[in-house]
């Protein structure tokens, strides 16, 4: 007698199949496809009753090359526990993992590849919901981009921040203090022996960078978007709180699978606006804008940078974390984490935005209770910076816009006119920046070309141009710097980034010459090259740029399809096909 479980004619597999019946491999006989699938998975010792449960995929981004994800085995164990306690079947699967220091030329070059990997593995394998475990800078954006395109019930689990270390009784953590100590070393304030000691202390455990860099920013953004369990952003990687969050995440994944709460129901215009508020209020990484733009683009949303800037004018920076402030992520967690911040931001948020918990953001804030005295998250009437951390600049040097992290800039340099000192690319910079005969003063403006999406390629975090050694030795701590690249969220300084169009595409930045005058006015949101339009056109006609190309492989795909910073540096063919309007809607 035939077992009706497999007989295709007796039990045709419905189009909205779930669990192990979902997304069958094509053999032309769906009954046989299911029969074969179950035969193979039973080879791993599963029973029919286990295989009848909702299947929850777990995107495993553990890698020996990624210490920011060094707690992955413990997290997966806890997620699986949560899934099984809630009646689901956990199935973990590997995807690409990216670490900032182990990806050349830059992790950003590979973010879109990771997003494709995530999207296609979610599509290809049977799962009713997916837990996305990420942490290091590009991993959470890549996973959200991929999941947004795959559009199944999805939940984010952050790996969590590292602990801080101690150098000669001073608290230190990656990577603001990495840069600060390296600056001291370059200025001969710290010797070889001490910098080696510091190197042992900057990363005191596994986990993501301990300041408000891109990883912490994306963790906060993920929670603000409603994509994590409440309180999922802040617990450090090696704490019991983080493991509990992992177990809760697993249990919630089963719930959203039953409810078919697809990611597009959570990632709405309102949730993106909430995430932008949070980005501004935490003094978050400038990379957060690029990633939010890319995630939004997958759903057909356009991030309106001018509206974001207007939003910034009434969103103070409340979080006192490095590099804008003093504290570290573990302090943020002890101060109540995102619940404390969101409570303070409440009047500025869309409280009716849905979260993966099935409750609204407002309901989650209320459920978190009244709060307590602490000194890490300020009140709105006593901010650490009166406006949002990021300002959007316009002008003839950046017709498509540029940004500056004003909360991490030197106030004295935010209204500044100076002489351009130009470097043609990263190699030119490396060769000349520290030469004693470099013609540069502290009043000049350093311009670095060709580190944009196509130029480098991958828009590396080389926008944090080092202070020329001769100036560093003289005690100069900041100088205005401009590029079409990005900078790490852990960096600080008066640094204009994301110039659009980039110089490799023939943007005006390509035609800046040594000695040109440039004006930066953050108050007027202006970045201007003080030459006439006619002169700019004359220079462009005299030396047209050659747009980079490659002959094969991923490099070719990247250069042919990558978009500019204002489009999220995503591949053009990955964008959502149904336009859903601009956000924020102001
Ligand atoms: Fe992974 Fe900083 S290097 S979060």
What average pLDDT is seen over the chain?
95
Average pLDDT, stretch 411-415? 95
* pLDDT score, position 585: 80
Average pLDDT, stretch 303-319? 94
175 CA: nearest ligand 1 atom: 2
* pLDDT score, position 546: 92
214 CA: nearest ligand 1 atom: 4
Question: Given the structure tokens 């470099």, which residue do they identify?
Answer: 438
Q: Does the pLDDT value for residue 308 go beyond 60?
A: yes
Q: How confident is the model at residue 175 (pLDDT cuts 50, 70, 90)?
A: confident
| Helices marked H in 235-337 | 240-259, 263-266, 269-281, 287-298, 305-313, 329-334
DSSP 313-334: HT--B-B-BTTTSSB-HHHHHH
* pLDDT score, position 82: 98
How many angstroms is it from 161 CA to the middle of ligand 1?
Answer: 9
β-pairing verdict for 495-497 and 517-521? unpaired
Residues 520 and 443 sit within 8 Å (Cβ to Cβ):
no
How many angstroms is it from 120 CA to the middle of ligand 1?
Answer: 25
How many angstroms is it from 257 CA to the middle of ligand 1?
Answer: 31
* pLDDT score, position 171: 96
213 CA: nearest ligand 1 atom: 2
Tell me the residue length of the chain.
586
Which mutation among 70, 102, 174 tests ligand 1's pocket best, with the greatest number of atoms within 8 A of CB?
174
* pLDDT score, position 5: 54
Q: Provide the whole-model pTM.
A: 0.95
β-pairing verdict for 495-497 and 480-483? parallel
pLDDT tens profile 492-523: 899 999 999 999 999 999 999 999 999 999 99
How many angstroms is it from 216 CA to the middle of ligand 1?
Answer: 9
Q: How confident is the model at residue 67 (pLDDT cuts 50, 70, 90)?
A: very high
Average pLDDT, stretch 338-359? 98
Which mutation among 111, 137, 221 tests ligand 1's pocket best, with the greatest number of atoms within 8 A of CB?
137
* pLDDT score, position 1: 41
- CA-proximal residue: ligand 1, atom 1 (nearest): 136
Q: Does the pLDDT value for residue 190 go beyond 80?
A: yes
208 CA: nearest ligand 1 atom: 4
Average pLDDT, stretch 531-542? 96
Q: Does the pLDDT value for residue 345 go beyond 70?
A: yes
Q: Does the pLDDT value for residue 8 go beyond 60?
A: no
Which mutation among 107, 134, 205, 208 tests ligand 1's pocket best, with the greatest number of atoms within 8 A of CB?
208
The C-alpha atoms of residue 360 and residue 23 are separated, in whole angstroms, by 31
The C-alpha atoms of residue 158 and residue 79 are separated, in whole angstroms, by 12
CA distances to 445, 478, 531 from 517, in Å: 9, 19, 8
User: What does the angle CA 92 – CA 94 – CA 100 come to, to the nearest 5 degrees?
Assistant: 130
165 Cβ contact list (under 8 Å, min separation 6): 171, 172, 173, 200, 201, 202, 203, 204
Kindly report each contact of residues 425-430 with a partner whose C-beta sits within 8 Å and lies 24 or more positions away, as own/partner: 425/449, 425/450, 425/451, 425/455, 426/450, 426/451, 426/456, 426/460, 426/462, 429/462, 429/465
- CA-proximal residue: ligand 1, atom 3 (nearest): 100
Residues 320 and 385 sit within 8 Å (Cβ to Cβ):
no
Residue percentage of the chain with pLDDT more than 90? 92
Q: Does the pLDDT value for residue 12 go beyond 80?
A: no
pLDDT tens profile 96-142: 999 999 999 999 999 999 999 999 999 999 999 999 999 999 999 99
Q: Does the pLDDT value for residue 231 go beyond 90?
A: yes
174 CA: nearest ligand 1 atom: 2
Q: How confident is the model at residue 584 (pLDDT cuts 50, 70, 90)?
A: confident
Average pLDDT, stretch 32-41? 96
The C-alpha atoms of residue 309 and residue 268 are separated, in whole angstroms, by 20
- CA-proximal residue: ligand 1, atom 2 (nearest): 209
How many angstroms is it from 62 CA to the middle of ligand 1?
Answer: 14
100 CA: nearest ligand 1 atom: 3
68 CA: nearest ligand 1 atom: 1
* pLDDT score, position 15: 53
Q: Does the pLDDT value for residue 56 go beyond 90?
A: yes
Beta bridge partners of 303: 583
- In this structure, the residues whose C-beta lies within 6 A of any atom of ligand 1 are 68, 99-100, 136-137, 174-175, 208-209, 213, 215
Q: How confident is the model at residue 9 (pLDDT cuts 50, 70, 90)?
A: very low
């Amino acid at each position: 007698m035939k077992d009706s479980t497999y007989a295709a004619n007796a039990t045709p597999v419905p189009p909205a199949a779930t669990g192990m019946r979902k997304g069958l491999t094509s053999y032309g006989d769906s009954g046989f496809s299911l029969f074969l699938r179950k035969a193979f998975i039973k080879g791993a010792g599963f029973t029919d009753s286990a295989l009848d449960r909702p299947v929850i995929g777990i995107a495993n981004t553990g890698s020996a090359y990624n210490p920011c994800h060094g707690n992955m085995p413990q997290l997966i164990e806890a997620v699986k526990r949560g899934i099984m306690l809630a009646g689901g079947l956990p199935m973990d699967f590997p995807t690409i993992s990216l670490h900032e220091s182990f990806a050349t030329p830059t992790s950003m070059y590979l973010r879109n590849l990771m997003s494709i990997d995530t999207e296609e593995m979610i599509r290809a394998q049977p799962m009713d919901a997916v837990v996305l475990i990420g942490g290091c800078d590009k991993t959470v954006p890549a996973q959200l981009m991929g999941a947004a395109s795959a559009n199944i019930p999805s939940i984010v689990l952050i790996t969590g921040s590292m602990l801080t270390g101690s150098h000669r009784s001073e608290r230190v953590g990656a990577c603001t203090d990495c840069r600060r100590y390296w600056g001291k070393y370059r200025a001969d304030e710290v010797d070889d022996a001490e910098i080696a000691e510091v190197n042992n202390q900057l990363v005191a455990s596994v986990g993501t960078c301990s300041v408000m860099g891109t990883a912490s920013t994306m963790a906060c953004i993920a929670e603000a978007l409603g994509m994590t369990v409440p309180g999922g952003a802040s617990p450090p990687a090696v704490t019991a709180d983080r493991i509990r969050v992992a177990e809760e995440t697993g249990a919630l994944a089963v719930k959203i699978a039953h409810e078919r709460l697809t990611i597009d129901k959570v990632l709405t215009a309102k949730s993106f606006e909430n995430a932008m508020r949070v980005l501004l209020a935490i003094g978050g990484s400038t990379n957060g804008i690029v990633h939010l733009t890319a995630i939004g683009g997958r759903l057909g949303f356009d991030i309106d940078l001018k509206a974001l800037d207007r939003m910034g004018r009434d969103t103070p920076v409340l979080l006192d974390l490095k590099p804008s402030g003093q504290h570290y992520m573990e302090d943020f967690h002890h101060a109540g984490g995102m619940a404390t911040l969101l409570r303070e931001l409440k009047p500025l948020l869309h409280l009716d935005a849905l979260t993966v918990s099935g409750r609204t953001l407002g309901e989650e804030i209320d459920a978190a209770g009244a709060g307590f005295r602490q000194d890490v998250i300020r009140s709105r009437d006593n901010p650490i910076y009166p406006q949002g951390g990021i300002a959007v600049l316009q002008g003839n040097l950046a017709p498509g816009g540029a940004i500056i992290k004003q909360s991490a800039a030197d106030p004295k340099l935010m209204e500044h006119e100076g002489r351009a000192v130009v470097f043609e690319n990263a190699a030119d910079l490396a060769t000349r920046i520290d030469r004693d005969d470099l013609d540069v003063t502290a009043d000049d403006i350093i311009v670095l070309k060709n580190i944009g999406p196509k130029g480098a390629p991958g828009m590396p975090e080389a926008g944090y141009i080092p202070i020329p050694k001769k100036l560093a030795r003289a005690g100069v701590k900041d100088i205005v710097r401009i590029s079409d690249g990005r900078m790490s969220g852990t960096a600080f300084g008066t640094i204009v980034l994301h110039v659009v169009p980039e110089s490799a595409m023939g943007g005006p930045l390509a035609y800046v010459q040594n000695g040109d005058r440039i004006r930066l006015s953050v108050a007027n949101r202006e970045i201007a090259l003080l030459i006439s339009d006619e002169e700019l056109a004359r220079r462009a006609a005299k030396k047209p740029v050659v747009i980079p190309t490659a002959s094969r492989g991923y490099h070719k795909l990247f250069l042919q399809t990558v978009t500019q910073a204002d489009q999220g540096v995503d591949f053009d063919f990955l964008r959502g096909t149904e336009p859903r309007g601009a956000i924020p809607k102001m």
